[in-house]
Chain A
């Protein structure tokens, strides 16, 4: 139906509880998608995104949003091949780091070139969602201004899903 980038954003929005608009606003979506495709390969990424879309569609048809969580956990997060990759996408969004895939994964599905722990880029670090989630700024970037730290933290409300 849609481009891979759009499907990636749809999955990422559900996986991070940040809206697509917020995710797009970081400017990082393309870089993260490229990173996961480069390391995990097209097949795995497409499969993961398809299953997410499927879960979403089933939940929408049934009118029961809990079904999506159930399907996502069963088909993606608990899947030995897709789960670690999905979790890496979440971590990438929050921290800006690609974490080396677990050993069990590499043993079962083969080592991938470039699969080491690394900061995806300087901007990835600065755009980590973690900081917004707790009302803070990434150290060394996006300084909130003199004296801002004397006020209570502003923790953004969770978007209704």
Chain B
């Protein structure tokens, strides 16, 4: 049925970028079909709880442990990195260490929720420091959509903490919720670290432990109503569960927040106007059909499967006036390439970036109480900008609240080691656990990576998944600019540890395995941050970019590619807030354009119950629209 319907907009991917666009467009009365490759289980509360159980029962509790993929929509998994037999075909020279989730809700199901704005200087890296590229828009031009994105995804922070490196906020603005309380360990570290300075070349930089913005529910400001757990019923309507309106400290934000106090894209989809929205899960977009003369997209072919454990499927085509690819930076590029739309500029799939990151870990003198609260609540942002960026990469320091878990598999491994190797039991065992685990500190040092044409996603007919779709073939390297930044980050964390009296226990030889990269006669071990960006970069010039400033394809004018794939550079901020701001901006462009060029279509179905006041625009409301009420 849906295959023959004509929609205003066909969105591929129910992740954060796709869901934000779907919500905004349907709120304006545009008919949107969302094709989602993965299963829809996370969108009902029952289904979501199954994922919580999956997580409880998993003996390894990595980022993917709550989200086993369907056969038809495979995904990368960090556990496959070492053996190299995962979904990605890694061409090297280095391994690309990041992952994403293919289920309705996308990678925000397992993200951490750090929602920093980019710095104004990040948009002008080329003109300020002669590195990378400039963006086709400046910070000030994006600022209004940053504010909207912070409201849409529900960001908790205080403006007073966030005005550094020239970040400006509109007059009188503050985040929709107050900042998440910093952890005890943040407070103790801040007392030791605040005010100390480090040198980066000519620059003397003063450090401050700063609480960071998080898409996690906290105490609301000014009538904002935090959006909690999602429960979408078969008729497309949501029900309010009064759960997760405040973070309760479950300490499992990655891989799964059990109460959904942390934002996931399902929340945006649940707040779309159901009368204008059709979501088709278990529908893998496999090919775009393009008019050979105009270059316009004429349809999206997709494979529909019923059984998540079988590759059996049927093939359909969806039609719309506008097409939006929001399938994630890698999958967007893959879908274009699989459709033979590599493009004249040859830029598609290139300039893949991440934030290669290294860990530093140690023991504090007194218990700092790790393994409590959101997995991280503060960081050190002072090395995100400055003149040194002409020479080496900027970086940020994340302060972990989960001890050495990512680096040694603690605390489980600590127990095993204490019992097995040290022969401890009873009171000795408990004293040992107290004296080690409770003192653990861990930093994650995340470096900026610049666009490089050689870092890319391609496809190869030899490497296909079970449904015959290409697997991403990835070439990846880390250049000297970034490596030098990582080396500086290492030096800085050691100075900070020493200042705070933290005994350094960083020992990659005896830790969880991480990919290595040679540098300056030694090796560094890095891990990915999940921050894929740059495969369809935006610019002012069709020769050197894939999309324009509105994320519209230069070559296919009714096609938009959205997400961090559009980033020309990525600075040091986690990408999702910026991607959300860009997505909302694109949605506004579409509304302006489509509103003018067409008459309103009929909704897919009658709005049920009391009709929602669409003219007010659901996205500016403080409360979820009526559709989320207890109407069932």
Tell me the chain B residues, 41-69 only, with Cβ under 8 Å from chain A.
Answer: 52-53, 55-59, 61
Q: Quick one: which of A86, A121, A126, A130 has the most chain B CB within 10 A?
A: A130
- Per-position contact with B for A118-130: 1 when CB-CB < 8 Å, else 0? 1101100110001
Q: Does the CB pair B258–A149 fall under 8 Å?
A: no
A35 to chain B, nearest CB (A): 14
Residues of B within 8 A of A153 (CB): 184, 367-369, 372, 438
CA distance A40 to B230 in the complex (A): 44
8 of the cross-chain contacts (CB-CB < 8 Å) are A91-B419, A97-B59, A122-B56, A136-B370, A144-B372, A146-B218, A149-B181, A158-B427
**A→B interface (CB under 8 Å):** 14-17, 77, 86-87, 90-91, 94-95, 97, 99, 117-119, 121-122, 125-126, 130-131, 133-137, 139-141, 143-153, 155, 158, 161
Residues of B within 8 A of A146 (CB): 181, 218, 246-249
- Per-position contact with A for B188-232: 1 when CB-CB < 8 Å, else 0? 000000000000000000000000000000100000000000000
Q: Which residue of chain B has its CB nearest to the CB of A16?
A: B426
B284 to chain A, nearest CB (A): 29
CA distance A4 to B158 in the complex (A): 57
B529 to chain A, nearest CB (A): 20
Q: Does the CB pair B434–A147 fall under 8 Å?
A: no
B628 to chain A, nearest CB (A): 22
CA distance A44 to B139 in the complex (A): 69
Contact of B412 among A15, A97, A122, A126 (CB under 8 A): A97
Residues of B within 8 A of A134 (CB): 371, 411, 433-434, 437-438
Q: Does the CB pair A135–B425 fall under 8 Å?
A: no
Q: Does the CB pair B371–A87 fall under 8 Å?
A: no
Residues of B within 8 A of A77 (CB): 423, 425
Residues of B within 8 A of A121 (CB): 57
* A143-B415 in contact given A150-B187, A152-B184, A158-B427 (Cβ < 8 Å): no
Q: Does the CB pair B56–A140 fall under 8 Å?
A: yes
Q: Which residue of chain B has its CB nearest to the CB of A149?
A: B373
Q: Which residue of chain B has its CB nearest to the CB of A142?
A: B250
Contact of B61 among A14, A136, A139, A147 (CB under 8 A): A139
CA distance A104 to B181 in the complex (A): 49
Residues of B within 8 A of A137 (CB): 249-251, 371-372
Number of interface residues of B (CB under 8 A): 52
The answer, yes or no, to whether B3 is at the interface (CB within 8 Å) is no
* A149-B256 in contact given A130-B415, A131-B371, A143-B250 (Cβ < 8 Å): no
**Closest 4 pairs (CB-CB, A-B):** A149-B373, A153-B369, A140-B252, A143-B248
CA distance A13 to B323 in the complex (A): 63
Q: Does the CB pair B250–A16 fall under 8 Å?
A: no
CA distance A131 to B258 in the complex (A): 18
* A148-B249 in contact given A14-B426, A133-B430, A134-B437 (Cβ < 8 Å): yes
Tell me the chain B residues, 380-413 only, with Cβ under 8 Å from chain A.
Answer: 401-402, 411-412
CA distance A91 to B402 in the complex (A): 20
CA distance A131 to B420 in the complex (A): 19
Residues of A within 8 A of B420 (CB): 87, 91
The answer, yes or no, to whether B377 is at the interface (CB within 8 Å) is yes
Q: Which residue of chain B has its CB nearest to the CB of A91?
A: B419
Residues of A within 8 A of B423 (CB): 77
- Per-position contact with A for B236-279: 1 when CB-CB < 8 Å, else 0? 00000000001111111000101100000000000000000000
Given A144-B249, A145-B248, list of 20 further CB < 8 A pairs? Answer: A16-B425, A17-B426, A17-B427, A77-B425, A87-B420, A94-B429, A119-B56, A119-B58, A122-B57, A131-B371, A134-B437, A135-B372, A139-B252, A140-B55, A143-B259, A144-B248, A144-B372, A146-B218, A149-B249, A149-B369
